[in-house]
Amino acid sequence: MIVFFFFLRDLIALLPQHNGFTVRYDWGSQDVLNKSLLLKSTQNKYPLIWLVNNTVTYDRISNKSRSKTRLVFATQTDDKDQLNNFQYQTSYSNILIPVYENFIKLMDRSGITMIIGSNSEYQLRPNYSVNENGKGLITIWNALVLDIEIEIQGNSCINTIKF
């Protein structure tokens, strides 16, 4: 069986470092996200790709998993008091958009993944802090939120990818 979030984790581990930092990946609910952000770690927490809990369809005959997926590409806001143009120049053009573009290359070229359809929806969210039932992030992010449908094939080898 293909465990979607583990395969995605292994693929994202292939992304190149960005400005000397490894792109981190994790998944889960808002509560799990906040726990993850609170953990003291020797590694940098950003840039981060967070997989929001999702439903996966698994075809056991073909050994493929497919999911309409929401991924949040995030970095900590440099200065939350600044307006969108500053946020775009510091976080988006320098960090989040290049990481997003490498992720799309990874999905297109890995040999085991396929983006379903030719469209994906994304939203730039400067000074992003989720507020759901009074619960929000414990930090403020600049984020790129991507909604995309991904299929993972479990019977293939991962290609070597040049970024």
pLDDT one-digit tens code per residue, 81-110: 777 888 888 899 999 999 999 999 999 999
Q: Which amino acid is at 137?
A: L
Is 70 exceeded by the pLDDT of residue 41?
no
Structure token digits, residue 105: 């290359």
Query: Does the predicted TM-score (pTM) go above 0.75?
Result: yes
pLDDT at 58: 93
Integer Cα distance of 82 and 44 in angstroms: 23
pLDDT for residue 136 is more than 70: no
CB 127 within 8 Å of CB 142? yes
